[in-house]
Chain A
Amino acid sequence: AQSVTQLGSHVSVSEGALVLLRCNYSSSVPPYLFWYVQYPNQGLQLLLKYTTGATLVKGINGFEAEFKKSETSFHLTKPSAHMSDAAEYFCAVSVTGGGNKLTFGTGTQLKVEL
């Protein structure tokens, strides 16, 4: 079975600073990896996904993530935080033949300060 661990339930950065949200996965077969963002009182929306191919994936709003198989990681980064990035971020994993199951991490709340 696959699983995801998000390190840090709360992360605080200054506006303009680097954003780094950590995600490690566990899977016995090649994974599909996703980052979703949840703004207050809204559902989750897809930021980016890794399926196959290029390991550096670019998403919306300037976010990107790098799939590192050797480290079983899929950390989310953004070079310069903006106030509008304040939200909760979820990493998720699925696998081919995994019973159509998407497994979510517990989420990281990002706070952006002036």
Chain B
Amino acid sequence: EAQVTQNPRYLITVTGKKLTVTCSQNMNHEYMSWYRQDPGLGLRQIYYSMNVEVTDKGDVPEGYKVSRKEKRNFPLILESPSPNQTSLYFCASSYRGLDNSPLHFGNGTRLTVT
């Protein structure tokens, strides 16, 4: 089954404790992206990657890191999480990047930073 898999689904952590949210897709998509979803703000892009070893900032990259060492994986790293990063996070992928290619989304990771 074609899918984007994120782990974990739920995560509670404390301020400053480094964490990684994993994302993997099995569709051989070149493009991958991370979004955060907050009430009343919709989805905002954090980082995206056009292909292996190619990443770029989205609208809200502060406090986040990503890497793209393999085509299928695109982990999101929070080196020193803060409470304002409490949010619902989605990983997404598409074939050859956006423009007219629809995104395929994972089921989300709900992060709480206390």
Cα-based distance from A101 to B45 in the complex (angstroms): 8
Using A101-B45, A104-B43 as known contacts, say yes or no to A32 and B99 having CB atoms under 8 A apart: yes
Interface string of B1-27 (1 = CB under 8 A from A): 000100000000000000000000000
Nearest residue, chain A, Cβ from B91: A43
Interface membership of B102, Cβ < 8 A: yes
State which of B44, B90, B99, B107 has its C-beta within 8 Å of the C-beta of A94.
B99
Residues of B within 8 A of A106 (CB): 40-42
Q: Is B103 within 8 A of A104, CB to CB?
A: no
Q: Is A102 within 8 A of B103, CB to CB?
A: yes
Residues of B within 8 A of A36 (CB): 103, 105
Using A9-B40, A100-B31, A106-B41 as known contacts, say yes or no to A41 and B107 having CB atoms under 8 A apart: yes
Could you tell me how many residues of chain A have their Cβ less than 8 Å away from some Cβ of chain B? Answer: 24
Interface string of A70-114 (1 = CB under 8 A from B): 000000000000000000001000111010111011110000000
Interface membership of B74, Cβ < 8 A: no
Q: Is B99 within 8 A of A95, CB to CB?
A: yes
Give A39 Cβ to nearest chain B Cβ, in Å: 10
Interface membership of A44, Cβ < 8 A: yes
Interface string of B76-114 (1 = CB under 8 A from A): 000000000000001010000111101101111000000
Q: Give the size range of B's interface with the partner.
A: 20 to 34
Interface membership of A45, Cβ < 8 A: yes
Give B95 Cβ to nearest chain A Cβ, in Å: 12
Residues of A within 8 A of B42 (CB): 90, 104-107
Residues of A within 8 A of B99 (CB): 32, 94-96, 98, 100
Interface membership of B48, Cβ < 8 A: yes
3 smallest beta-carbon distances between A and B, as pairs: A43-B105, A106-B42, A51-B100
B interface with A by C-beta (< 8 Å): 4, 31, 33, 35, 40-45, 48, 50, 58, 90, 92, 97-100, 102-103, 105-108
